[in-house]
Each structure stands twice: as structure tokens, then as C-alpha cells.
Structure 1
Amino acid sequence: MEPWICATCGVEHEPGATPPARCAICEDERQWVPAGGQRWTTASELRAAGHRQIVREEEPGLVGVGIEPAFGIGQRGLLVRHEAGNVLFDCVALVDEAGADAVAELGGIGAICFSHPHFFGAAVSWSERFGGVPVYVPEADRAWFPRRFGALRTWRDRLVLAPGLELVQVGGHFPGSAVLRWAEGAGGRGALLVGDTLQVVPDQGWLSVMWSYPNLIPLPPAVVEAVEQRVLALDFDRLYGGWWGRVVAQDAKAAVRRSLERYRARAGGPLPDLAPPTADG
């Protein structure tokens, strides 16, 4: 029997003759259950519907792993290539042979970790495809992981996965929300992989944070400040969000600072009186 996959969030659940009664991740106020009720699918059904793996380079040493057409909440994972073993940060719901073979040609996967529970995806299937590699979940978010799995490992605060690859728990969106600092990224200037622990927004060079993105529930300014302090203590110049194209290519640390300062100002004080631009700009 195949694992059941929630059709809304794309997180894999235990296999069985019938699907689970509920998806706890979607019933939480940070996600949603469709008006028509909980729906389930499987990897076989996704492949039959035309979904396939997309594996493409983001920069030297960093590869995006996604699904086309998009499924669930549409995220893509990031594979950091490292001589000590590649690390997959965030997962998608599907593992297909072509995608797994492409990842294998890049050196496979040595460990899997996440920004937060919405991006658990098919983590167990990805792990099993590569020999049962460890899957790291922060202690604070362990209860959200919906599958029994012997290679599951918990961590807290900080976890060095390999030289120059460090997971850091910053909180906010979830208590265990994390970022992965890749020291060799951005040509050695450092890159930060964030999923939507920080959300890269359409306005170029800006980010935001939320308790619930789909339901538009903000975080308190004090929590935003705590997230900011933990993130700005890290060295990085580039930042990768959780979707294709959501990247702050340079000066990302300054972008985090000004973005979260703006967030706190709007949340805690009067709104600015911004006039529309004039015809001559």
C-alpha cells in the first residue's frame, strides 16, 4: 500500500487500506481544509495525472527539486551538494524515478531537514529511496510529523549537518521554524535557505513573516524581533525562499533587517501617509 498524501498541503501520511480521517496540519489555523472537505491522493495518482519531478540548478552546488504542474502549496525543495553528503532542505510530495535518478546522479541525499511542517512533503519516501537517510525534525515540531519512521531524528536550537552547513531554529511561523546556512553559497559569501520561515515577497528585495500566510494572521512584533535577532546573527549575502524564483540574490541580510523593521513599524505604530506618485514620478 502507498502512503496517503494530503491533496491540500502535500504532506505524506501513513499507508493503509483507507485514508486517514484528518490531516492535522491542514486543520491547524496556519493552513486550511477545502470547503469540500479533506481530500487524499497517492504518488501513483499524481504521476497518472501528469505530475512529474523537476530538478534544476539554482546556482553551483544548489539544486531545486519541485513538481510540475505544481501540487499542494507549490513549494520546491533545495538540495545542497556537499562532499560530506548532500542535504535536502524541504520536500515536495512526489518522488518519481526520473527525479530520483537525477538526484542520484548529483550524489544522492545524505540527510533531510526542513524549514517547517508545511514542507514535510514525502520526506519518508525520499529517505527510503536513498537508503533510509536521517530525517531531522526540531523537537518543537515533532508532533506534526505524521509518519512513524525509524530514521527520524530530533534536534533543537542548532544542528551542524556538515562543515559549513548549519540548521538554526529561529521560530516565528512555527516554534521550530528553521533556516539552513550554507557557508559556500553565493560564491562563498554565504546563502540562507529559509522556506517560508521568512517569506520572500514579490516586491524585489523584501521579505515578510506571518503566523499564518493563507489566513493572513500576523506575528506579534516581539516575536518578529526575536526571529530577526537570530537570523541577523548569521553570515549570508543571498537568501532562498521556498518557491521557484523567490530569491534575494544579494545584500539579503540588509533586506531582512529593513523588511522586519518595516513589519514592526506597521504593526506597532501609526500608518504612514503615503501619497500616490505624481505623473513625473
Structure 2
Amino acid sequence: MFEDNLLVCRACGTQFDTSDRNVLKNCRICDDPRQFIPPTGQEFTTLAEMKGNYETMMAPDQTNGSIISLWTEPKFAIGQRAFLIKTPHGNVLWDLITYLSDEDIRRIDQEGGIQAIVISHPHYYTTHNLWAKTFGCPVYLAVEDREWLCREDSQGRVFIEGNEKEIIKGVTAIKVGGHFPGSLVLHWGDRLFIADSFITVPSALYHEGRLPGTASFSFMWSIPNMIPMPPQAIVNIWKALKSYKFTTTHGAFTGMDVRDSRVKARLLESAKIAIRAMGYEESQFIEELSE
């Protein structure tokens, strides 16, 4: 397969349009200040080199068997998970992992295949051309972030231009911005798949009885380099989500699921904590109430 020999960044999992290591010296995704180059330097691999050394794990959500997490072991690149969301109207894959084997394709096909792929932001673009081609489905990306595409092959790409897009009935991509201008979350039923658009923090996972001022989520322009979003970007995330109902958030990594009837209120509370910490005690947003 042609894609098997194209270069893949070991640090972020992005696939490029060349197999020539003399041509590709740097990953433009990792050179961006939001990401980083490992201390050992920039390194590339290929899907062909990965075969036999990695495995895709699949596990159903503990409360809803129609949601299946996919992740790579041993950890590769950023180490995020993807979600196969099985609905009566078709299956949606939220975000991506780089590795895709023949066995993965067989197992996903057994679950009904993939009718649409939605990717939250450029750090997870990875091998989306291959996934879209393999499953014969469109891949939805925010138009604001198209400059970060690293392959010219445009098969299946659909750019979301508005603030939201119903992907299939009941599954809606919502543009919240902040981390990247086009950063997306995905809403389905009472669940919100958040990726890196805002981040589940450790105090979210055991929150009952915690002291006032304890955050559940943080808002970062750069996660590895710990650069926060500006206050207005945080406010914009809340504005984009204020009209939606959700009681569960699914983060980018395994174990980062928050299940609580108050999770939406906790998102607003976390936004206020972040804005106050930046010195905006008198912000009008501090008086905002959750519905």
C-alpha cells in the first residue's frame, strides 16, 4: 500500500507526502509553539516499520457499549485515543490514531464500519487520508485549520465552515476554538467528546466534596508547554456550549471520562477559576450562570 512507506512523525503521528528522509527534516506540526520536538531530536518512521510492533486496543465504554475507545499500545506519538460512536444512523469516528492494520480494519468492519470521521484539531490529523480511503467515508475538519494539512491528497475531506455541523442525525460537531482556531468538540446525546479543546484535570475524577475553587477542566493554548488560553477564548468555549446539555465528557486519553449530572456547571466553574487566576476578578463573565 502506498501510504505504508510515507514518513510519519514519531512525536505527533502526522503522516507526510514523502518517503524521502533527505527531503523531510522537520515536522511542521511539532515545530509549532503548541507542540515540541523531543530532546532526542526529530525522528520519522513509516506504517510499514510500525507493523508487528504496535497493536490497536479496543474497549467499550463502561456505561454505553455503543461507544468504543481505540488506542495504540505501546504508546505511539501523543498517545491519544479515538472513539467509534455507533448510532442507528451510522457510525462516527471521533479523532484518530496513526496506526491502522488489516486486523483493525476487520474488527471495525465487524462493528459496522465508519460512515464519517471528525477530527478535533491538527495534532490528531495523523493518517486521516488512509482511514477515509479505507472506509470510504468523509473526514470532517475545521476550515480554519486547513493550513496544517501535511498531505495534498484531499480524498474525502469536508471542511466545516460554520459554528456547528450535524455529521449524521444526532451527532454534532461544535467549533469552540481556543487551542486552535477551529478546535472542535463532538456532541451526542448526553455526551461531549472534548479532545484537547479543554482538558480534564486530575481533580475532575474525584470531585465530590472538594473545596470551592477546585477545577475540573483547564484551558490550554499549548498543553505540553503549559501556555494557557487568553480569557476571551475561554469565554468563547462556554458560549459555544451553553445551549447544549451533557452529563458526561470524554477526554483525549484513557481514564479521562467525567460522569456527573453537574458536569456542565463544573465546566463553567472551571472557566471562572481560570479567568480569575489571570487577574480578571471583576469580569462580567464571573456572574454567568449555568442553565
TM surpasses 0.5 = yes
Q: Which amino acid aligns with 2:239?
A: Q
Residue 106 of structure 1 pairs with residue 117 of structure 2:
no
C-alpha separation in 2, matches of 1:17 and 1:72: 20
Q: How many residues align structurally?
A: 262
Instruction: Give the aligned partner of residue 52 of structure 1.
Output: 55
1:238 Cα deviation after fit: 0.6
- Quick one: which of 182, 195, 198 aligns to 1:176? 182
Query: How far apart, CA to CA, are the structure 2 residues paired with 1:197 and 1:16?
Result: 32
Distance 1:17 1:269 in 2: 50
Q: How does 1:2-41 map to 2 (within 5 A)?
A: 2-18=5-21, 20-41=24-45
Q: Percent identity?
A: 31
How far is 1:4 from its partner?
A: 1.4
Equivalent position of 2:197 in the other structure: 197
Given that 1:55 and 1:102 are in contact with CA atoms closer than 8 Å, whether structure 2 keeps it comes out as no
In 1, Cα distance between equivalents of 2:267 and 2:121:
19
2:125 aligned residue? 120
CA offset digits 1:72-103 (Å, max 9, x no partner): 11100111112322111100110012222111
C-alpha deviation, 1:221, in angstroms:
1.2
Amino acid at match of 2:242: L
Displacement after TM superposition at 1:144 (Å):
0.7
Is 2:61 aligned against 1:61?
Answer: no
* CA root-mean-square deviation: 1.5
Q: Distance in 2 between matches of 1:224 and 1:126?
A: 32
Kept in 1, the 8 Å contact 2:129–2:155? The answer is no
Output the CA distance in 2 between the equivalents of 1:231 and 1:209. 14
Distance (whole Å) between structure 2 residues aligned to residue 24 and residue 17 of structure 1: 16
Q: Give ranges in structure 2 of 5+ residues lacking alignment.
A: 208-215, 282-291
Q: Which residue of 2 aligns with 1:71?
A: 76
> Deviation per CA, 1:224-248, whole angstroms, max 9, x where unpaired?
1111121222111111001111011
2:160 to 155, 172, 178: 155
Q: Structure 1 stretch 261-270 or stretch 117-126: which is displaced more?
A: 261-270
Instruction: List aligned pairs for 1:187-266, cutoff 5 A.
Output: 190-203=190-203, 204=205, 205=207, 206-250=216-260, 251-266=262-277
CA distance in 1, matches of 2:180, 2:16: 20
- The alignment's TM-score, normalised by the length of structure 1, stands at 0.89
Where 1:171 maps in the other structure, the secondary structure is coil
| Secondary structure of 1:180's aligned partner | strand
Structure 1 Cα separation of the partners of residues 165 and 24 of structure 2: 32
Deviation at 1:177, TM superposition (A): 0.4
Mapped contact 1:181–1:193 kept (Cα < 8 A): yes
Query: Which residue does the alignment assign to 1:42?
Result: 46
Structure 1 segments unaligned to the other structure (5+ residues): 184-189, 271-281
In the alignment, the residues of structure 2 paired with residue 73 and residue 234 of structure 1 have an alpha-carbon distance, to the nearest angstrom, of: 29
